[in-house]
């Protein structure tokens, strides 16, 4: 293991080693783009931590003691997970089984994710280091993917599913950790939408078609897998290879590693082998957006299960993507995947989540579903008097928002005023060819005529350009309305309370919205 210190990294970066080298701040939920399981909180170690922090001053009583001084940044992993059964302490330039750590990509609930270089093949890869506590459970994820790629060999949908390159285990001060090597990918759709990076409508339709093909493939009788965690965070953009870059070029484009020294709870530099000497802030994954190809990659099979054997304790789908039946403890199924697929496509195209919440309570999401789609059957939250009208077909907020014509006048008149005359008014005096002033008047008239003609012509050209732009803008608005109505038609089939009426991925593939060249 490397003993690279914060001071050494600071010198390499040409900065003063003041203990905190700040890089771009990235929300922790956004940095886990290549972390294939970022939301799991079922492990014993995390449960202990969460239970302990719920009781003020009760950490000692619960047998959980804080080890580290809080960091001044919040875009990194939970440092209290650096303890036995937790994270593996990792530093820049560490070499793990022939892979050299170059930079940090992100972190999740039970893993840290790093950019590394294969020293034998000189290729850049992603290495995900699982906590010791979760390493045995991660085998389920790997087993699902082995089944998918073995049974689906040759299916084009596999091009859109991320497959690990290899796995191995390492022994460290906190236990035995599973390491998963995979290809370097670009930002997630969630990262794009949260960062306000727009995607062209046709590009979104292209990606949505690939994602729907993936779901149809997984749901097929031959494969029989429910993904269980279809979200915009788990749909990443494939990027072109950066293997030709030197490490110096990687740092030039992605930035030098920004680090924060780790201190124990007393404020002294950490000396415990369970924790690293410093914490590395993640790269800005959006720097790789320009390298995107025309393909997506579906990741995170940590919640996946076989159709015939759904988990009794439910799945860990984020509530924004949960189908209504999951709120009432019904079994997850292919139908719940379809609801999540609809939410994902909606966010991909519109740029915002279908339902959001400030506090994450189930009733908040159920209330929003009621407002959008009408009362949820079997809901314990009755709709207030006077709101029942929203439950009728055509009167839900979903219908009004997606179907209503936009305000303003869509058909402006082409002419914004009376056009100037190109020819001068008839003037009998111009016919008077007698007198010395005739040629002067003729010259003045000719000059005036061409001057007026030129001015009028320029004005007419500008007017024509304006009307052309307005006409094109109007045509764009009409096309966008047509496209959004088609999207509404597609997604309305995914947002059915009755799972027997909900669309299948196979049915969705025949919808014209998912065919970029299709007529809308």
Q: Which residues are annotated as a binding site for ATP?
A: 128
Residue 186 to residue 272: CA distance in whole angstroms? 35
Residue 299 to residue 57: CA distance in whole angstroms? 39
Residue 234 to residue 38: CA distance in whole angstroms? 10
State both tokens at 242: 């950066």
CA-closest candidate to residue 127, choices 140, 146, 112: 112
State both tokens at 45: 């170690």
- In this structure, the dihedral spanned by the alpha carbons of residues 344, 207, 520 and 405, taken in order and rounded to 10 degrees, is 40
State both tokens at 17: 């080693």
Please check whether residue 503 is in contact with residue 439, taking contact to mean a CB–CB distance below 8 angstroms: no
Residue 1 to residue 170: CA distance in whole angstroms? 12
Residue 281 to residue 259: CA distance in whole angstroms? 6
CA of residue 220 relative to chain centroid, distance: 26
* Distances, alpha carbon 380 to alpha carbons 363, 383, 391, in Å: 9, 9, 16
Residue 16 to residue 345: CA distance in whole angstroms? 46
Residue 159 to residue 296: CA distance in whole angstroms? 9
- In this structure, the dihedral spanned by the alpha carbons of residues 241, 246, 247 and 253, taken in order and rounded to 10 degrees, is -70
Binding residues: 128
Please check whether residue 219 is in contact with residue 157, taking contact to mean a CB–CB distance below 8 angstroms: no
State both tokens at 92: 């820049």
Residue 315 to residue 335: CA distance in whole angstroms? 13
Please check whether residue 90 is in contact with residue 127, taking contact to mean a CB–CB distance below 8 angstroms: no
Q: Tell me, letter by letter, the H, E, C secondary structure of 256-299.
A: CCCEEECEECCCCECCCCCCCCEEECCCCHHHHHHHEEEEEEEC
- In this structure, the dihedral spanned by the alpha carbons of residues 141, 146, 151 and 154, taken in order and rounded to 10 degrees, is 110
Please check whether residue 338 is in contact with residue 215, taking contact to mean a CB–CB distance below 8 angstroms: yes
Query: Which residues neighbour 322 within 8 Å (Cβ) at sequence distance 6 or greater?
Result: 336, 339, 340, 365
Q: Is the dihedral of CA 292, 295, 296, 301 positive or negative?
A: negative
């Amino acid at each position: 293991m490397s003993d690279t210190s914060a001071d050494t990294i600071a010198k390499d970066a040409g900065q003063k080693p003041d203990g905190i080298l700040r890089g771009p701040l990235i929300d922790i939920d956004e940095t886990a783009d290549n972390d294939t399981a970022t939301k799991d909180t079922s492990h014993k170690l995390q449960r202990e931590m969460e239970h302990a922090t719920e009781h003020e001053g009760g950490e000692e009583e619960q047998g959980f003691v804080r080890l580290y001084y809080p960091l001044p940044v919040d875009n990194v992993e939970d440092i209290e997970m650096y303890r036995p059964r937790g994270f593996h302490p990792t530093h820049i330039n560490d070499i793990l089984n022939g892979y050299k750590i170059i930079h940090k990509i992100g972190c999740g609930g039970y893993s840290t994710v790093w950019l590394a270089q294969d020293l034998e093949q000189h290729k850049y890869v992603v290495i995900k280091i699982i906590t010791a506590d979760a390493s045995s459970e991660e085998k389920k994820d790997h087993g699902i993917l082995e089944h998918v790629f073995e049974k689906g060999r040759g299916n084009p949908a596999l091009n859109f599913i991320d497959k690990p390159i290899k796995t191995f285990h390492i022994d460290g001060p906190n236990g035995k950790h599973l390491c998963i090597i995979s290809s370097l990918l670009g930002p997630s759709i969630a990262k794009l939408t949260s960062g306000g990076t727009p995607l062209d409508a046709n590009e979104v339709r292209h990606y949505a078609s690939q994602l729907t093909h993936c779901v149809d493939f997984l749901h097929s009788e031959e494969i029989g897998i429910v993904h269980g965690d279809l979200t915009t965070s788990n749909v990443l953009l494939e990027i072109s290879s950066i293997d030709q870059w030197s490490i110096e070029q990687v740092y030039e484009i992605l930035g030098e590693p920004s680090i924060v020294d780790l201190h124990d709870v007393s404020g002294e530099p950490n000396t415990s082998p369970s924790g690293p000497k410093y914490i590395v802030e993640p790269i800005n994954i959006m720097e790789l957006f320009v390298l995107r190809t025309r393909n997506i990659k579906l990741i995170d099979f940590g919640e996946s299960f076989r159709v015939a054997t759904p988990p009794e304790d439910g799945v860990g789908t984020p509530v924004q993507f949960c189908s209504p039946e999951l709120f009432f403890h019904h079994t997850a199924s292919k139908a719940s995947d379809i609801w999540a697929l609809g939410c994902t496509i909606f966010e991909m195209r519109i740029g915002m989540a279908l339902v959001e919440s400030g506090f994450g309570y189930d009733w908040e999401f159920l209330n929003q579903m009621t407002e959008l789609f009408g009362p949820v059957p079997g809901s314990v939250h009755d709709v207030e008097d006077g709101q029942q009208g929203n439950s009728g077909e055509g009167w839900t907020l979903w219908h009004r928002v997606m179907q209503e014509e936009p305000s303003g006048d869509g058909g402006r008149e082409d002419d914004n005023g009376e056009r100037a005359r190109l020819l001068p008014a008839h003037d009998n005096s111009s016919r008077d060819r007698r007198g010395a002033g005739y040629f002067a008047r003729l010259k003045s008239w000719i000059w005036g005529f061409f001057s007026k003609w030129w001015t009028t012509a320029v004005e007419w050209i500008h007017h024509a350009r304006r009307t052309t732009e307005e006409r094109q803008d109007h045509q764009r608005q009409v096309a966008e309305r047509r496209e959004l109505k088609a999207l509404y038609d597609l997604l309305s089939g995914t947002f059915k309370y009755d799972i027997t009426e909900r669309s299948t991925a196979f049915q969705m593939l025949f919808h014209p919205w998912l065919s970029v060249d299709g007529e809308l």
